[in-house]
Amino acid sequence: MRENLTDCFNGDSGRAEKAKHGLYDYNKVEDLSTLGSQILRSYQLFVSSLFPDVLAYDEMMALDNNILLELSNRPDIDPYDRKAFSLALEYNKKLA
C-alpha cells in the first residue's frame, strides 16, 4: 500500500487518513497464526505503512514484534530468513 494516499484523494489528507483507518479496521488480524507466511510478510509491510497516521509508534512496534515473533517460528520459512526475523525482533526489543 502506498504510504501517502493524499494524491489518490485530490490532495485531501483528511480523506486519505480516513481511508487508511478504514483499511486497517477492515484488514486487522486478531490471530497472526491464521495467516500464511507470505501473507504475514505482506501484513508486516501494511502495518509499517500505517505509522504515524493510523498507529502510534508503541502500537506499531508491539504489532511488528508480534509479527516478527510469529515469522521467526515458522517452519516453512527459510532458516536464514527465520534468523533475520529473530534478529530484527531482538533489535526492536532493545529499542524499547
The pLDDT tens digits for 20-65 are: 888 889 989 999 999 999 999 999 999 998 888 889 999 999 999 9
Contact assessment for residue 53 and residue 17, using Cβ atoms and an 8 Å cutoff:
yes
Average pLDDT, the chain: 88
Enumerate the H helices of 1-96 as residue ranges.
13-27, 37-48, 57-72, 79-95
One-letter amino acid of 70: E
Residue 2 has pLDDT above 60, yes or no: no
Q: How confident is the model at residue 7 (pLDDT cuts 50, 70, 90)?
A: low
> Does residue 84 carry a pLDDT above 80?
yes
Q: How far is CA 83 from CA 21, 74, 96, in A?
A: 32, 11, 20
**Stated pTM of the model:** 0.84
Question: What are the residue ranges spanned by the domains of the chain?
Answer: 30-95
pLDDT for 72 equals 97
pLDDT at 4: 64
Residues 6+ apart with CB under 8 A from 28: none
